[in-house]
Amino acid sequence: MAVFQGAGVAIVTPMYENGDVNYDALAELLEYQIAEGTDAIIICGTTGESATLTMEEHSKVIRFAVERVAKRIPVIAGTGSNCTQTAIQLSREAEKDGADALLLVTPYYNKATQNGLKQHYTKIAESVSLPIILYNVPSRTGCNILPETAAYLVKNVKNIVGVKEASGNISQVAKLMSLAGDELELYSGNDDQIVPILSLGGKGVISVLSNIAPRQTHEIVASYLAGDVKKSCELQLAAIELVDALFCEVNPIPVKKALNLMGKNAGPLRSPLSEMEEANAKRLETAMRNYGIL
135 is catalytic: yes
Q: What is the torsional sign of CA 104, 105, 107, 108?
A: negative
Q: Which of 164, 203, 256, 257 is catalytic?
A: 164
Q: Which of 121, 135, 152, 291 is catalytic?
A: 135
**Do 55 and 61 touch, CB atoms closer than 8 A?**
no
In degrees and rounded to multiples of 5, residue 21 shows phi and psi of -70, 135
Q: Which of 170, 107, 177, 184 is nearest to 144 (CA)?
A: 107
- 15 backbone φψ class: left, alpha, beta (φ>0; ψ -120 to 50): beta
Please report how many Cα atoms fall inside a 13 Å half-sphere around the Cα of residue 53, on the Cβ side.
27
Cis peptide before 252 (omega within 30 of 0): yes
Q: Which of 100, 180, 77, 213 is nearest to 194 (CA)?
A: 213
> In angstroms, rounded to a whole number, what is the distance separating the alpha carbons of residues 233 and 84?
39
Q: Which of 230, 159, 222, 170 is nearest to 200 (CA)?
A: 170
Catalytically active residues, by annotation = 135, 164
